[in-house]
Amino acid sequence: MSSRKMRRIVVTGAGGFIGHHLVKHLQSKGYWVRGVDLKMPEYEPSPADEFLQADLRFFEHCARAVQGVQDIYHLAADMGGIGYITSNHAALTRNNVLINSHMLEAARLGGIQRYLYTSSACVYPSFLQHETDVTPLSEEQAIPADPEKGYGWEKLFTEQLAAYYHEDHGLDVRIVRFHNIYGPLGTYEGGKEKAPAAICRKVAEA
């Protein structure tokens, strides 16, 4: 057995667009992968070695998800396009705070070796993005904070919480901030689609 196949990884949000593609990529590299999500992928079966349908708002589901793995790629979130995230501040924020805090604690208790948290460009202050000809944003520009209401605030909060888990408990945490990612097999209807996918659908329907 290869060293990669021996390494066991969990991908949360594996039923979503990015998570599904990540599972396929890790599988192609020879890793053992457990996918976790409320739902299965929409447009093709998951190639994960194991797929766990679970609600990560509940700690016991998070604890089950991390059993027997070394690495976590945490993508699970209540999210969608800008129309969705700007009209569901309370529910979305509550759901994601529960998911993220429970996953970090499950990782600590489970002795996870490496933890990747996927954040968002929504953490960046709106006052840096008023002009259409904006310069590229850098990591440190998220502070002073003025992120997107709801989704942006909970992402920025979880970045800090993840940093505390690194400082207090030695959890090896990495953070990435996604910027409007879209492509093949992405959601294009139902209210949670991103703008590019929605435009493509409307053009095709027309």
Place of tokens 């993840």: 162
The H or E element spanning position 62 is helix 59-65
pLDDT in tens, the chain (206 residues): 555 667 899 999 999 999 999 999 999 999 999 999 999 998 899 999 999 999 999 999 999 999 999 999 999 999 887 788 889 999 999 999 999 999 999 999 999 999 999 999 889 998 887 777 777 888 898 988 889 999 999 999 999 999 999 999 999 999 999 887 777 766 656 666 666 766 777 788 88
Place of tokens 């990747």: 116
Q: Given the residues 115, 151, 165, 188, select the one marked as catalytic.
A: 151
pLDDT of residue 156: 96
Six-digit token string for 201: 């659908």
Q: In the chain, what are the domain boundaries?
A: 3-205
- CATH superfamily ID and name for 3-205: NAD(P)-binding Rossmann-like Domain (3.40.50.720)
DSSP character for 15?
Answer: T
Length of the chain: 206
pLDDT of residue 81: 76
How far, CA to CA in Å, does 42 sit from each of 9, 145, 186, 188? 22, 35, 9, 11
Task: Tell me whether residue 43 is one of the annotated catalytic residues.
Answer: no
Closest C-alpha among 18, 43, 10 to residue 183: 18
pLDDT of residue 188: 59
pTM to 2 decimal places: 0.87
pLDDT of residue 203: 80
Q: How far apart are CA 185 and CA 206, in angstroms?
A: 21
Query: How many of the other CB atoms lie within 10 Å of CB of 45?
Result: 9
pLDDT of residue 180: 74
Could you tell me if 159 and 117 are in contact, meaning their C-beta atoms sit under 8 angstroms apart?
A: yes
